[in-house]
Amino acid sequence: MLDGKTGRFGAYVAGDGPPLLLVHSVNAAASAAEVRPLHEHFRASRTVFSIDLPGYGISERTDREYTPRLMTDALLALLAEIRARCGDAPVDALALSLSCEFLARAAVESPASIATVALVSPTGFRGGQTLREPIGSTMAKPWLLRTLRGPGWGSALFRGLTRPGVVRYFLQRTFGRKEIDEELWRQAVATTRVPGAEYAPLHFLAGSMFSTDIHVVYERLTQPTWMSHGVRGDFTDYRGVAIVAGRPNWRITTYQTGALPQFEETARFCADYVAFLATARTPAMGF
């Protein structure tokens, strides 16, 4: 566990070799369990750090403001710890869904800390979106957060959203099919039973963790950046990817999966990621 201005947060660490940071998504039942296939695969060749973001998993779940700034600061703090433990070389980092926005922001703010950026099913690329508000702007709706945090409302809503059957339903929508990873479902249900588990998700529902400047952030990435996404389920609208598709430091891969290709096509996904990392270290290949 690490302590700092982001509070206490933890990460699962395994393996030996160059460091690799993995970041789970943000939802009502998120945790490092979402990156389990990658953690298990890469521990054979890398020192893998799979963070539980503030408000999730084994990290502190206190009643406070959950914002992109808090999440980004947690990543920056862990990156500093990784470099203290593993050496000063910049770190390869991969994130899922909304956490791609936090990782991209950390990479822009501290480019010397992050060597490569991998974004799996990233948010911010839906068709019709223009997200170029002043840096630090979010989609937060204070009135909605106040309503959700009203007497009994938030806890009741969270309990409803995290019933085992409801968690399964949302995972099926994420996978885009009835078959899901059963261990992921079990861990998703379990993590919602920890005291304070509702605080971060309520901020998520109120828009507090979504950035309205993220197109500017994505465009400012200078590191080799690999984006990947699936074609099934609820997270398939990437019509806005044109803002980065032509940039020389970006590579984009599509999988015939849902939003979690690391579970459905683990071997191919890991091979593609290794190939991207190898290419990223070869200037002659275009990065």
CATH of the domain at 257: 3.40.50.1820
Q: Answer yes or no: is pLDDT of 150 > 80.
A: no
Taking the C-alpha atoms of residue 227 and residue 123, their distance in angstroms, rounded to an integer, is 11
Domain that holds residue 258: 10-285
Answer yes or no: is 92 within a domain. yes
Taking the C-alpha atoms of residue 35 and residue 23, their distance in angstroms, rounded to an integer, is 7
Q: Answer yes or no: is pLDDT of 32 > 70.
A: yes
* Assigned token pair, 155: 């806890």
Specify the pTM: 0.96
Q: Tell which wins on pLDDT, 246 or 172.
A: 172
Answer yes or no: is 2 within a domain. no
Answer yes or no: is 168 within a domain. yes
Coil, helix or strand at residue 12: strand
Taking the C-alpha atoms of residue 64 and residue 86, their distance in angstroms, rounded to an integer, is 32
Answer yes or no: is 279 within a domain. yes
Answer yes or no: is 167 within a domain. yes
Taking the C-alpha atoms of residue 90 and residue 82, their distance in angstroms, rounded to an integer, is 9
Q: Answer yes or no: is pLDDT of 104 > 70.
A: yes
Per-residue pLDDT band for 229 (boundaries 50, 70, 90) equals very high
Give the other-Cβ count within 10 Å of 58's Cβ.
17
Counting the structural domains of the chain, the total is 1
Q: What is the mean pLDDT of residues 228-255?
A: 95
Answer yes or no: is 3 within a domain. no
Answer yes or no: is 120 within a domain. yes
Q: Write down the H helix ranges in 195-240.
A: 199-205, 214-219
Give the tens place of pLDDT for each residue, 152-185. Answer: 777 888 899 999 999 999 999 999 999 999 999 9
Taking the C-alpha atoms of residue 88 and residue 170, their distance in angstroms, rounded to an integer, is 40
Task: Report the pLDDT value the prediction gives residue 286, as an integer from 0 to 100.
Answer: 52
Nearest to 15 by CA among 43, 42, 38, 51: 43
Residues facing residue 135 across a β-bridge:
none
Answer yes or no: is 4 within a domain. no
